[in-house]
Structures are given as C-alpha cells and as structure tokens.
Amino acid sequence: MSARPLFMLAALAVTAGATLAHAGPVEDAVVEVQHEWEVTRYQTPAKEREKRYEALVAKAHQFSEANPGRGEPLVWEGIVVSSLAGEKGGLGALGLVKQAKALYEQALKISPEALDGSAYNSLGVLYYKVPGWPIGFGDKKKADELLQAALKLNPRGIDPNFFYGEFLLEQKKPAEAIPYLEHALQAPPRPGRQIADAGRREEAKELLDKARAQLSK
C-alpha cells in the first residue's frame, strides 16, 4: 500500500488562512509567509515545491518564536509544515504532521478564533487525512467536530466550506458534500488572497464535478 495519498496535505491551509484585519509587525510577518505559501502551492512547479516549503518552514518557525503568545504565526507555521508533509509523502511524513498537529493545538490554546478559526479547520483536515491507529492519529469523528467548529466561526469562508465538502465526499456522502462545495465557490473574495482564492475555487469545482458524477451513477 502506498502511503503517499494519505499525506496529500498541500491543499490545506486553511486551509490557506483568513485575511488579517489589522496591520502591524506580526501581521506583516504572517502575510509574508502566507504569500510565499500561496505562490509555492499554486504557482510553483511540483518538483520545486518541497525545497521551497523547507525554506518557508524555517522562516515561519522564526516568526512563531519571535511572537510568543500569538496564535496566527503558529497557525501558519502549521500550514507550511503540513504542506511540506504533503510534498514528502509516505510514512516519513508522519513526524511532520504530528509537528503540525502540535502547532495547531498550541494556537487553539492561545486564541481559538485567530484567523477565523483556521486552526480548527487545519487540525480537522489532519484528522481525516492522516491514517488512524496504529499508524497515525487520524480520527474521522474528531475531524467532523473540528471542521464544524471552523464552519461555526466562519460559515461563509471558502476554506471551511471546501474542506467540509471534501470530508463529506471522502465519507461517500456526495449529496451532503455538494452544498458546502457550492458555498465555497460562492464565498466572498478575501482581500489580498487572489492566488489562494483562485486555486481553491478550481479545487472546489473539481470536487463538485466529482460529487455530481457520483450522484448520477
């Protein structure tokens, strides 16, 4: 059995993260990481992504360490680490996803509402992408709870709707997934997030076509 599909987490990120409302040193640093992630995720050739994510992990970690007590840098460090795990794939990525899990959990302890609940969303994705015991910590019930918590905080957001739709589709519930994927496509644009929004919409369209095709069988 190939383990790589279990770690296709580069689509995460909240997963891509919400737009920051106030400018400041922390926000500027997070926006820098956010933009580099978007370019790497959606505009960089696949063969170059792993190296770019590795460099970005180091930068994101520096920002987190420099800003203790803030949840936003931790969320984005987790997103970048998760994305690196997706590129590496295989069982060797387990250490990275456990690292990302710890970062999201730390962010939730500090400020669960940071980035419109992005830590809930990203952690939920890990719980349904990662295999369960004895290999990993995956747990579909826990994933459902976390993803719904993210939706409660950001019901119109593109990422919470996309990932809950993807989760339902993976649970073989295409009829339930369709409304969430449609909401993802109808989500309001995020200022300064054109790259991430465009990429996520393409992914939502693909999943929506898949869900509709399953229903038509």
pLDDT digits over 72-120, tens only?
999 999 999 999 998 888 777 889 999 999 999 999 999 999 899 999 9
Single-letter code of the amino acid located at 192: G
Return the pLDDT at 27: 79
Q: What is the arithmetic mean of pLDDT over 112-133?
A: 92
Return the pLDDT at 6: 44
* Secondary structure (3-state) at 14: strand
Cα-only R_g, the chain: 16
Which of 125, 117, 63 minimizes the C-alpha distance to 100?
A: 125
CATH class of the domain whose range is 4-216: mainly alpha
